[in-house]
A = this chain, B = another copy of it.
Amino acid sequence: MGTVLRAEHGKRAGFRESAKDIVRFCGLGGLEEIGRNMSFFEYKDEIVIFDAGLEFAGEENPGVDYIIPNTTYLEQNKHKIRGIVVTHAHYDHIGAIPHIMEKLGNPTIYTTPLAREIIKKRQTDYPNTPPLDIEIVKNRDVIKVSDNFTLEFFNIIHSIPDSISIMLKTPVGNFVYATDVKVEYDAKGVEYGLDEFRRVGEQGIHGLFLESTNAEVPGKSLSSELIMDNIEDIFLKTKGRMVIAMFASMLTRVGEVITLAEKHGKKIAFSGLSMKTNVQIAQNLGYIKIKPGTIIQLADIHKYKDDQIVILSTGAQGESNASLMKIATGENRSFQTRPGDTIMFSSSIIPGNERAVQTLKDSLARQGAHIYHSKNSDIYSSGHATADELKAIIKAVKPKYYVPIHGYYFMRSTNALLAQECGVLKENTIVADNGLVVEFSKTGFQVDFDHQLPAHYVMVDGLGVGDVGEIVMRDRKMLAEEGMVVIVATLDKKTGTVIKSPDIVSRGFIYLKENVNIVEDMRKKIKGILAQMPAHKEVEMDYLKGLIRDQIGQFLYTKTKRRPMILPVIIYV
């Protein structure tokens, strides 16, 4: 292992200005995070976009629903947009669609049938958005979207069916955009899922854009076959009811589990609306095949024997309002955990959710459930290629230039090293951040590190998109840490004297009812400050507020070693 320097990539390699044929690439999201994936390619007055995802907000952004890519540049150039390609139906690739399509002039979306249905389903939550124009594509479809851009789609393997990657043909050369993708292995360890990459590779690839999510994970991932064998072992030894918790979006695994249940004569009930909806969509399109009679209502499980029952549930991340948590807290009317039940978490834990998942497991274990999870059993693997799988893809595509996408800097720079191990020249690996434009000519590329397109966070909070900025976030964090104290001082406009004892309201600081002394001392202190003000004139408001903020702040810090936010309100009557 090691790492890669921005400088080591060469901001410029083999680039000749004379070449007017320049394809510009820019990532607007996904290059400094996991999520809100969105990139575009530009050639003269043509733009084609790839994905428009969301990122779930972490504790750095409390209260925010999610974060979407910044589309300022695209809005300013919407006349150039020739289409948006959506690679698959996960929210980190489709989640921004309801918020941006209108601003971009509602361009055509090119995607697969499953993604189309899931995008349309989500769109129903935003009734005021104009109808989308979605064009279906399938494996090996070739679509000329503009004079200079031709898209050739090809199927790849990910954790949801109907995922595609794209070869973008341009006057400069062919580019492959591959995300999210993994390689699979059969029982003998022989890899598959690379044929299409080899096929496009044979056409000569100028640049490969490949995801980095698991670039730091050495080796190969566990094969689906192995995981399904392990799940089958658990099926065989379980005599009671089973709950299998996983993301409703992991539709490939969901389908495999349903088939396995049928093989063992079990019935499937769904718990969690998104699970039910997603399976229905996938079933309608033929991606999941279910025999008549397999699916039963959760309310009907009492009509079956315990060992016939498999419940597919959402909520494996310990989400407080999801199905599995409701089972754990006894709020689910049809299913209460009891000794003999088995609960399987076929999932990894998203960083930040550890405590919630621990609480959930604890609660289920206390009720007597047997618990299997990815730490004690091999029943989960990620949908993202690990180091060896990434290398297999790079070797199949054989690109001249390599741009790791999707992941934090260190993941992407690690990914760049993998490409170098596969023979891509060091100076031809390009680790560019969100908003940086990479210009490709036939002979080389250059990156202008000094000019970035707008790429900062756009936060979605309730109905607001982008109205929660840094100031609001900073305040939320400060309020969370130490709480706040509001001080209302009422003064006589004419005399400047205090009319009534200051009102003090506090939240999240200390419980005032139990700290009468501090409150009294604070009142005295405030009166003292106000008494020093010159009489018979209105004091400059900001000056007085500043004085109260500083002196009361200092007083409270001395008393408590805490720094609550202090909000003085001065009222002249």
Interface positions of A (Cβ within 8 A of B): 1-8, 32, 58-60, 62-63, 216-218, 339, 351-352, 354-355, 358-359, 361-362, 365-366, 368-372, 375-377, 408-410, 413-414, 461-464, 467-469, 471-472, 475-477, 479-484, 486, 488, 490, 499-500, 503, 505, 507-511, 514-515, 559-562, 565, 567, 569, 571, 573
- Cα(A216)–Cα(B374), bound, Å: 11
Chain B nearest Cβ from A536, distance in angstroms: 18
The reply to whether B62 and A481 form a contact with Cβ atoms under 8 Å apart is yes
Chain B nearest Cβ from A406, distance in angstroms: 14
The reply to whether B464 and A510 form a contact with Cβ atoms under 8 Å apart is yes
- Chain B contacts of A505 at CB under 8 A? 486, 567, 569
- Chain B contacts of A376 at CB under 8 A? 1, 216, 218, 414
The reply to whether A355 and B60 form a contact with Cβ atoms under 8 Å apart is yes
Q: Say yes or no: A490-B569 contact (C-beta < 8 A), given A463-B560, A464-B560.
A: no
- Chain B contacts of A472 at CB under 8 A? 483, 508-511
Q: Say yes or no: A469-B352 contact (C-beta < 8 A), given A500-B573, A560-B464, A567-B486.
A: no
The reply to whether B3 and A369 form a contact with Cβ atoms under 8 Å apart is yes
The reply to whether A483 and B488 form a contact with Cβ atoms under 8 Å apart is no
The reply to whether A490 and B365 form a contact with Cβ atoms under 8 Å apart is no
- Chain B contacts of A477 at CB under 8 A? 480
- Chain B contacts of A408 at CB under 8 A? 358-359, 361-362
Q: Say yes or no: A507-B371 contact (C-beta < 8 A), given A59-B59, A351-B355, A472-B483.
A: no
Chain B nearest Cβ from A345, distance in angstroms: 11
The 7 A-B residue pairs with the shortest CB-CB distance in the complex, in nearest-first order: A462-B561, A480-B480, A351-B354, A479-B479, A476-B508, A63-B481, A362-B409
Chain B nearest Cβ from A62, distance in angstroms: 4
Q: Give how many copies assemble into the complex.
A: 2
Query: What would 12 A/B residue contacts be, using CB atoms closer than 8 Å?
Result: A3-B365, A6-B366, A7-B368, A63-B483, A362-B409, A365-B409, A461-B562, A467-B511, A475-B508, A479-B483, A505-B567, A507-B565
- Cα(A573)–Cα(B511), bound, Å: 27
- Chain B contacts of A480 at CB under 8 A? 62-63, 476-477, 479-480
- Chain B contacts of A467 at CB under 8 A? 510-511, 514-515
Chain B nearest Cβ from A355, distance in angstroms: 6
Chain B nearest Cβ from A364, distance in angstroms: 8
Which residue, of A59, A365, A461, A503, has the highest number of chain B Cβ atoms within 10 A?
A365
